[in-house]
Amino acid sequence: MIKDHEIFNSIQKETKRQNEEIELIASENYVSKAVLEAMATVLNNKYSEGYPGHRYYGGNQIIDEIETIAIERAKKLFQAEHVNVQPLSGSPANSAVYMAFLKPGDKVLGLKLDHGGHLSHGHPINFSGILYNFTQYEINQTTGRIDMEKVREIALREKPKMIVAGYSAYSREIEWQKFKDIADEINAFTFADIAHTAGLIAAGEMYNPVPIFDVVSTTTHKTLRGPRGAIIMCKKKFAKQVDKAVFPGMQGGPHEHIIAAKAVGFNENLQPEFKQYAKQVITNAKTMTEEFIKLGYKIISNGTDNHLMVIDMTSKNLSGKETEVILDKCGISVSRSTIPNDPNPPMNPSGVRYGTAAITTRGIKQTEIKKIVAWINTAIEHKDESNVFKKIKKKVKEMCLNFPIPSV
């Protein structure tokens, strides 16, 4: 029985929008019905501050069971020695990591935001940049890749207490072992934020930093295709300090309905079909970059190893925001993105980030990718013609209805 028609109607409209439009935002995905169902349960009703076997409230026997299953599945998935499944999302997870390993004012080395990093990797307007003394490294302007010699040079000069790797808008493999070797030279902690590529790593399609790095965080809702949340993985010797930083350091009661959904998602990640999915995500992204390159678009690093790419729109005389608005009118969602050394501000940057995690979940493959890129190009070439957008939107809808999102 529907009790709240107003919200129900909005949810129905959003379901229709998601089902009839193309999602190319690199950080989004569609979860299974099983993941959605776990979230909408009575587990929401429970307070369970603490950890399995050590709670500050009664009645947590079953909650302990659920959280332990989530932990064990995540450990198996990433070959992790210790996992904390309670972080509410990516930034809270990262704040707990810093709290566990650093004191305010400590020096940290992270990738600059406009080079593909994340706000929580030391941007001056973020808690990370306010509380800690970040030095930033950059990607090489010519190759579009991280220059490990340069990272080493900065690390040896600055001697940070922690080095952060793992990014939000970087399309290439990361040389985890080289980061670790550099960190060892200066006795620094290694922290990987794999929020974007975790699903591809879990599926064995990208290199895994978990066995190498001291501590690794990831959100669970991007390529990992689980509920909106995060986890922290670390070496056993850091388990206590990480757990203490999450609770009571940063958070109160964990969201056990989300933890149950994380467990359901991890179980899906462990299945052979998920490996196939991850492979196809990368194949689709590679196809997308090839199609864009054929049409004269400039892709940072000239290709991709993962699910995303950043395209510099300056050669098309459009900003990232303008492109985002045009494509929105065609039923295609993308996110504007900075490009390295972007002359424009983050709210109106010069690039667009595209990702294939969500569309691949729908079953979209190379044939459709080629059509999607052609539609994007047509929209951009006819940027002032709303009748062109309407025609594209119709074709987008036709394609989408052949590839329904899960749970519709």
Among 202, 175, 138, smallest CA distance to 357 is for 202
Residue 43 Cβ vs ligand DSN, minimum distance, rounded to whole Å? 25
Beta bridge partners of 135: 109
Residue 222 Cβ vs ligand DSN, minimum distance, rounded to whole Å? 7
**Catalytic choice (49, 158, 175, 322):** 49
Which residues contact ligand DSN by CB under 6 A? 27, 90, 118, 168
Nearer to ligand DSN, 50 or 340 (CB): 340
Q: Which residue number places its CB atom closest to ligand DSN?
A: 27
Contact 133, 107 (CB under 8 A): yes
Residue 169 Cβ vs ligand DSN, minimum distance, rounded to whole Å? 7
**Catalytic choice (67, 114, 138, 193):** 193
Give the pair of three-digit tokens for residue 349: 């940057």
* Matching residue, tokens 């729109």: 313
**Catalytic choice (28, 37, 47, 275):** 47
Nearer to ligand DSN, 102 or 358 (CB): 358
Nearer to ligand DSN, 91 or 284 (CB): 91
Among 171, 248, 178, 172, smallest CA distance to 212 is for 178
Burial bucket for residue 318 (CB in 10 Å: 0-12, 13-18, 19+)? middle
Alpha carbon distance 327, 393 (integer Å): 9
Nearer to ligand DSN, 267 or 304 (CB): 304
Residue 341 Cβ vs ligand DSN, minimum distance, rounded to whole Å? 20
The single-letter code of the amino acid at 407 is S
Q: Is 391 a catalytic residue?
A: no
The SS3 call for residue 102 is: coil
Residue 63 Cβ vs ligand DSN, minimum distance, rounded to whole Å? 28
* Helix (H) or strand (E) run with residue 400 in it: helix 386-402
Q: Is 75 a catalytic residue?
A: no
CB atoms within 10 A of CB 185: 12
Among 214, 147, 167, 168, smallest CA distance to 187 is for 214
Q: Is 365 a catalytic residue?
A: no
Nearer to ligand DSN, 168 or 350 (CB): 168
**Catalytic choice (75, 76, 159, 228):** 228
Q: Is 225 a catalytic residue?
A: no
Residue 90 has, within 13 A of its CA and on its CB side, a CA count of: 21
Q: Is 312 a catalytic residue?
A: no
Q: Is 73 a catalytic residue?
A: no
The residues carrying an active-site annotation are 47, 49, 193, 219, 222, 228
